[in-house]
Each structure stands twice: as C-alpha cells, then as structure tokens.
C-alpha cells in the first residue's frame, strides 16, 4: 500500500516538476527552491524503490 502510494507520487512528480538532471543544473549554483524540489524528488524516488 505504502509502496504503491510513493510510486504514484513519483509518476506525478515526473510529469509536474522540472527535471534538473536533463537541464544539467549545477547544484552549487542552485537556488533554495531548486534544491528543495531536487531533495523532494530524491526522497520520493528512494521511498518508491524500497
């Protein structure tokens, strides 16, 4: 149940939120909002894979 929720959330994130890896964003120069989005996507992906 929990795993399915995070997989669905991951798919929604992929469609809505920007992909910074495709844009080759430098994390050293990223804004706080960009880092928050990056961290959120990373956390959701980690939970979906567990």
Mean pLDDT of 6-24: 87
- The pTM (predicted TM-score) of the whole model is 0.78
What tokens does 46 get? 């980690």
Task: Give the containing element (helix H, strand E) for 9.
Answer: helix 2-16
pLDDT score of 41 more than 80? yes
Residues 6 or more apart whose CB falls under 8 angstroms from that of 27 comprise 35, 38
- pLDDT recorded at residue 17: 86
Dist. CA 41–CA 45, nearest whole Å: 6
Give the dihedral sign, CA 9/11/17/18. positive
Task: Give the containing element (helix H, strand E) for 41.
Answer: helix 32-49
């Amino acid at each position: 149940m929990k795993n399915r929720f995070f997989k669905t959330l991951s798919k929604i994130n992929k469609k809505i939120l920007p992909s910074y890896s495709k844009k080759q964003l430098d994390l050293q120069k990223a804004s706080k909002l960009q880092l928050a989005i990056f961290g959120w996507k990373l956390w959701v992906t980690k939970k979906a894979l567990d």
